[in-house]
Every structure is written in C-alpha cells, then in structure tokens.
Amino acid sequence: MVEKLAIEGGEPVRKKPLPTIDDISGRYLGEEELRLLKEVIDSGKLFRYVGTKVKELERRFAEYFGVRYAIAASSGTAALHAALASTRIDPGSEVITTPITDMGTVIPIIAQNSIPIFADVDPETFNMDPADVEKKISDKTHAIIAVHILGQPCEIDRIIEMAEKHDIYVIEDCAEALLAEYKGNYVGTIGNLGVFSFQQSKHMTTGDGGIAITDDEELARNASFFTDKGWDRSVSGPRSYVSFGLNYRMNELTGAVALAQLEKLKDVVEKRRELASWLTKQMEGIDGIGLPKIIDGAKHTYWFYPIKVDHERLGISNEGFAKALNYEGISAGTWIGKPLYLGPIFLQKRMYGNSGCPFDCPYYNREIKYKEGMCPNAEKASRELLVLSCNEKFTYDDTADIANAVRKVASYYIRKT
C-alpha cells in the first residue's frame, strides 16, 4: 500500500518544524555573543578604527587558518570584491568562475568592469570542472574564482596548477565551506586569497559580514585599502587616499558576534558532519535519489545536504519533489535554480543602465554571448540538484524524519510512474 503524500491530503511525516538556520532554533547563539556585544556598547566604540573587536577578529581568524593576514568586511560579497580588487584587475579582463553559485560571486567581477566567464561543473559534485576551466582560459584571463559549493571543496590543486602555468590569480570563494579541507589544508589557504561569509545561513553567522585571508602582504594591503575607501591610515597628517575603494568596513558589533562565533565554529562543523553521516546511512538505497559524492582528499562541511533527483526515473522535477517534501514538513529547495548566465541580467547584458558595459566598453573588444548550452552539466544539474537542510541543532530523530520523507516521496512517484 503506497502511503498518500501530504501534498495530496495525506498525513505529513513531520508536524513539528525542524530547527532552522533562520532563527535561534538552528543556531548556536547566546551568552557569549551577548557578553561581547555588551562590551562594545559599554565602551561606546562601535566604529572599527576606534574599537578593538574587528582588529582582534582579523588577528584570530588569520591565526586560526594559519595565514598572515585577514581583512574583515561588511559582507562576504564585499570581502570577495576587495579580494578581486586587490589583484589590480584591469577593466576588460576576464574572470572564470562557476555558473552554479550565488550572484555574490559574480557581482565583484562586473563591478570591476570585467567579464564573467563561466566554466562547466562536475555532474556529480556540482563543483567547477578543472578541465573546462582550462578550456576557458584566454589571453584576457586575469583570475579564477574557485567556488567550494555547498561545503565540498573543488579540485583546487588542479585549478592552481593551471593558473600558475598561465600566471593568473586564484581566489577561493569559501562562503559555503568554512573549515572544509582539501588534502589536509583548509580551503581558503590554498589559492592567492580565500574569502568567507558570515551571512545568516553560513557556518558562523553575524547576520551579514565576511573576511578575506592571504599570505601575500601586498594583496592584504590592497584589500584593506579597498574596504576603507582607499585610505592609507598609516600616513599621519591629512588623509591619504592612495587608491579607489568603497566603504566595506565591518563594524564593532559585527566583529564582536564574529569573535564569539569563531570559538563555536569547530563544534558546528563537527556536528554537521556527524548529522550528514547519519542522513547518508538512513537514505542509502532510495531509488531515484543520488547521495553526495565526496571527492578524494576532501572533507565536506555540509552547508546544506545535496541530493540528486532522477526526474526521469521518478517522473517529477526537482522543484516538484521539493514542494512535496515541504508539505511533508521537511525544508527542501533547488537553491540557485538555473545557471546564472541564463538569468535576465546576463541574457540582456544590462549591468549599468542601458550602456552595455562592461561587454561593450572599449577595453573589451570581443563578443560574448550567454546562452543555453554553454555549460551542459550545469544546466543538467539545475534540473537534478535539491538541497536539504542540515544544521547543528538537528538530532538523530530529525535526520530520520528527513530520510523517511525523502523515501516516502520517492517511493510514491516511482510507483505512480
């Protein structure tokens, strides 16, 4: 007897909401953050250059990751923008990245009047395919933004090898992969710069916030200037603006929360790995569902728990499957949806009013078309990828409910077809 789905009027697997990253039910937030916030308020010093918390965060974050420099910013996107700007990228340059990512990965490229070039992805991991990255390198390529998707490292060593051959920069976007490891190294410490996000959903959260790390003194200095309107504060006397920059400064309240969160980060990641291990065991053998594939040398940190929906086998799209799971009381979604280049902003090339820049600017004398078929694996992934919630407040019973709901929905549609 096939169990009736909740979406069709049956009883849901889960009636009590799961812990969620959207509020305290799924986050390690409490007395530690309040204590440090109170210190900031009591001091009256909320600006980073009169207070101590952001400076301390930068010191301790760099120490945590074993690098020389850390530059805090107002968001992960801001930190990535500062990282890219620190490489002194020229207008009309090309930057290679993945089409399956948040728009925050690509905004810095466009903001620097440069051209996003999208490389296809591995169909199993959804991370950038190094072979396709190499195909996309041209004489205009300035950098590769290597994104570690959903908590799993990409094959960053292969990307760095080809980057060194062509003398281009590698920036690691680790927004979704705090404390993920590849061949014994933390992601973010392998390329020229690494960038992290502290947005609400990330492994450590300040609501918004971010940080860039590097061992390169010049890149660190450039990134620091960029977050502070190009101001060289080491020069006494009249203000010395030495380069173009934006106001991407982190404030002391954000720095205080980040300091408390940093102390909890290891426990958060270890708990998520434990939960993901339970979930994997509980979902093994569900027909029509593909479980995460972990590449050799990688340690996943499960920003979300990704699965593949075999829509041909099940006769339902990943969007439809996610909707059915939501009715069962299980949070699920398709995350990004279509690859970025199929969005209106790329298809219509309207970045700066109706100007056509950066694509039609004098510094870029090539024609680029964003169109369907550019990255077939990414487009296929957009039809298969589904992400399930995974946060540090889950219990074994929570993961059992998730697995039972996935099994219930998959079994229903297989039998129905």
Q: How far apart are CA 89 and CA 413, in angstroms?
A: 50
Q: How far apart are CA 390 and CA 124, in angstroms?
A: 19
Q: How far apart are CA 36 and CA 13, in angstroms?
A: 41
Give the DSSP letter string of 204-273: S-SBS-EEEEES-HHHHHHHHHHHBTTB-TTS-SS--B-S---B-PPPHHHHHHHHHHHHHHHHHHHHHH
Sign of the CA dihedral with 180 first, then 186, 191, and 196 last: positive
Catalytically annotated residues: 202
SS3 386: strand
Contact between residue 254 and residue 207 where contact means Cβ atoms under 8 Å apart: yes
Place of tokens 């980073």: 48
Contact between residue 6 and residue 185 where contact means Cβ atoms under 8 Å apart: no
Contact between residue 217 and residue 68 where contact means Cβ atoms under 8 Å apart: yes
Angle 110-116-121 from CA coordinates, rounded to 5°: 140
Query: Where does residue 236 rank: exposed (0-12), middle (13-18), buried (19+ CB within 10 A)?
Result: exposed
Torsions phi, psi of 83, nearest 5?
-65, -45
Q: Which residues are CB-contacts of 165 (< 8 A; sequence separation ≥ 6)?
A: none
Q: How far apart are CA 229 and CA 256, in angstroms?
A: 23
Sign of the CA dihedral with 40 first, then 43, 44, and 46 last: negative
The Cβ-side half-sphere exposure at 11, using a 13 Å CA radius, reads 4
Sheet holding 289-290, edge to edge: 289-290, 305-309, 385-388, 332-333
